[in-house]
Amino acid sequence: MKGAFWRRLDLLARRMVPAGLSLFFVLLAALPLPIPGYSSIVPMLVLASVFFWAIHQPSLLPPVVVFAIGLAQDALSGAPMGAGAVVVLLAYGVTVSQRRFFHNRSFIQVWVGFMVVAAAAAVLGWLLTAANVGLFVPSRAALFQYLLTVAVYPLVTWLLHGAQRLTPSEA
């Protein structure tokens, strides 16, 4: 009886790795660093995490969880509520729909795919922010955020590949 309980608890914890790491990236991105203007160009770490899990184990990160993670990101970053959630949810949907394409591809090919998804996400986030503010928002911050996101993607992927060993394999 006790063994079964601990096995179920272990399985539950392993199934929560993608959501837990994505939330960790939300918190990491929300850290106030003493760099002027950093809050407007912080890398989209959550987007990288959602992209990774959408390719490798989407069943462990369902859309409702992706939406909740996006709302948490909006709440902590001060972005318009729902804007980040819509962006990561759309990126997740596009990535899941192209999952077969990304499987068994080289890292460079997947990285280029991420660059396309991240570019679309940056533009959409910029447009949603501009629409919410009702003004033209300078796009330079979105460009730098995109470039930083693309630059840190290999490190994020390396970390997530290590964490993937902890997750249960998909059926």
Q: What is the pLDDT of residues 133-154, one digit of tens each?
A: 777 767 788 898 899 999 999 9
Please give the DSSP secondary-structure letter assigned to residue 106. -
Q: Name 78's Cβ contacts closer than 8 Å, sequence gap at least 6.
A: 39
Q: Taking 50 as the threshold, does the pLDDT of residue 156 lie above it?
A: yes
- Residue 169 covered by a domain: no
- Residue 114, judged by CB atoms within 10 A of its CB (0-12, 13-18, 19+), counts as buried
Amino acid at 164: Q
- Residue 27 covered by a domain: yes
Inter-residue contact 136 to 109 (CB < 8 Å): no
pLDDT bracket for residue 171 (50, 70, 90): very low
pLDDT of residue 50: 97
pTM of the model: 0.90
CB environment 12-37: b (16+ within 10 A), e (fewer)? eeebebbbebbbebbeebeeeeeeee
Give tens-digit pLDDT for 21-69: 999 999 998 888 777 766 667 889 999 999 999 999 999 999 999 999 9
CA dihedral of 113, 116, 120, 125, whole degrees rounded to 10: 80
- Residue 98 covered by a domain: yes
- Residue 76 covered by a domain: yes
- Residue 19 covered by a domain: yes
- Residue 114 covered by a domain: yes
Residues spanned by the domain of 56: 2-164
- Residue 89 covered by a domain: yes
- Residue 171 covered by a domain: no
Domains: count for the chain: 1
The conformational region for residue 167 under phi > 0 = left, psi -120 to 50 = alpha, else beta, is beta
Give tens-digit pLDDT for 88-123: 999 999 999 999 999 889 999 999 999 999 999 999
